Structure 1
Amino acid sequence: MSTYGSSGASAQRYPLYRRMGTPIEVEAVWRGSNHLTDKLQRPVLAVGRWSSQRENPHELRAPSLSEHYTIEVLLEKTRVDCYRDGIRIATGNVGFGATQIAAPRQLVTCQFSGASEAIHVFIPRAVLVAAYEDATQRSCPAGFELRDPCFAIDEPIGRLAHALADTTTLTGPCASLHSESLAIALLARLMTLQGDMDSHDTRKGGLPAWRQRRAVEFMEANLGQQITLQDIAEHTGLSRMHFASQFKLAIGMTPHVFLIHRRLERAKKLLLDHELSLVQVAFEVGFQSQSHFTTVFRRFTGMTPGRWRAQTSVGVTLLDELESAIA
């Protein structure tokens, strides 16, 4: 049986592969595999292929796996709305090479608006640790995670997934080795794109434009939700601390302060609707109580939401009267 070596002090030689009768399992359930453990009930790497020809909108819910990361790579264009642990992380048209990763115990639901075809690679946490330590020749940090690209497209990953799909027809003693090698190559590509395996990373330029856009769009789409710095960082494919520092370099404020500004801008628009109570406005922009909303609003604007509403209403009325007089 193949092994992945490691020189890290805490690492052990972990069996990455299991010998399979067929290299890839054709899934009966989306992101579901019947081959996630070996005969000793140890978690092992597995690969599955999913295909659905349903053209009408439909929702798919993935099993929650306790030991495995689930990597989904799309093989064709489709439209998807994806939710992770109840928070929307992606929406819109996606194509070949679009990738989404669910960490162990995360709940993922996707609403597809048409046919879909994908490769799923199931990676045990122990395999990720072994791969990290083999690549870096040092112990894997306790907090290292394989983070979610949220259906960002990477053509090299798409080509690896397509090559995996082609192994479905392979037979013979080398068939499993072929598919397993491609699965590890796909994992290596994702770890390389993640960009934080080198602890001496000294990039100083702030977030690239596309990461900044993904972060801002995610915050805008979830202003009414309880999202954390970790949620936003995962959506951009960076670690929490690295994302926070790079975001501040790019934007000039922390993600937390930026999110508050966006929530307050949305709140001001809602306050113009006098049919909405202050508590309704507070909940609509992600605050859990009116008192907290009032405290934050006053800290950033110098007045309470009620006073801002009253003052703005007077200003709007005077402007309307002035325009009427001119007309």
Structure 2
Amino acid sequence: MASNQLNSLELSQRFNKPLMISSRQMSWNGILVEQCQSPASTYEAELPALSEHWLSLHLGNPTHIIQKRDDRLHESILQEGDNLFIPAGQPSYWCQDKSGITCTPLFICLKPELIQQVAEASDMDSRRFEFIHCFGQQDLQLHQIGMLILAELRSHGMMGKLYVESLTQILVIHLLRHYSTLTRPIASQDSRFTRIQLQQAIDYIHTYLNRDLSLAELASVVNISPTYFASLFKQEMGISPHQYVIRQRVEQAKLMLSKTDLAIADIALQVGFSSQSHLTQQFKRLTGMTPKQVR
């Protein structure tokens, strides 16, 4: 990492925006997510090149903003759902007019190493494309992904690492498809799990169902990359590793509700849910009933 490049941890400080919530203490792999409060007053910031890819999703009131790139000024009124995307290694200049209103943008910083992992697992040569600087583009699908990540941040990671990693992969693949010089679609994987590898992964899930399992942990069982593992698992099983784990936890809880007298809160923790309310939410979604109704 070049010493003159800005690290994402300094981003909110450079913009002088009060930090509302951050994923810094949550050990999310390759991604930093923060929501800040943008001041109502005029501000101006000239940022050196970022060491990470930076995505800003506009939330809140419409905001007039000026950006300079290629020595030209670009003006825009940012609306809910608009985004700004600055690839790593590119400096930027920002100016917000005094508007008397505040907004609460969501900052998402992605490590280049993560992008490379996803690209290679998707059969792309990471040297054959570059990300494109984007300013004020409306992208509802990207906005929806961002809102799911923000909801998970606000819940303090209630759904677990697998869920965050799945959302992160969806985000990266969306950026690769729509915000890069990539001209061909992401290739589908021709390789498949062997039956032994698939069974090893499933056995591991059942053995450690009470853990906060991660893609990296599951992938290490069969010695392949996390992104590749997620793709092959879904290809073989028809659902993502995260959804498979949730279903197995609900099935185990259903069995314990009928066979034991344990409190529902204790059952929730024993099968790997973060709380009784998380168990109830997923239980009702998959069975149409609450744990209390089943008992």
Shorter-chain TM band:
0.3 to 0.5
Q: TM-score under structure 2 normalisation?
A: 0.47
Q: TM-score under structure 1 normalisation?
A: 0.43
Q: Point out the structure with max Rg over C-alpha.
A: 1
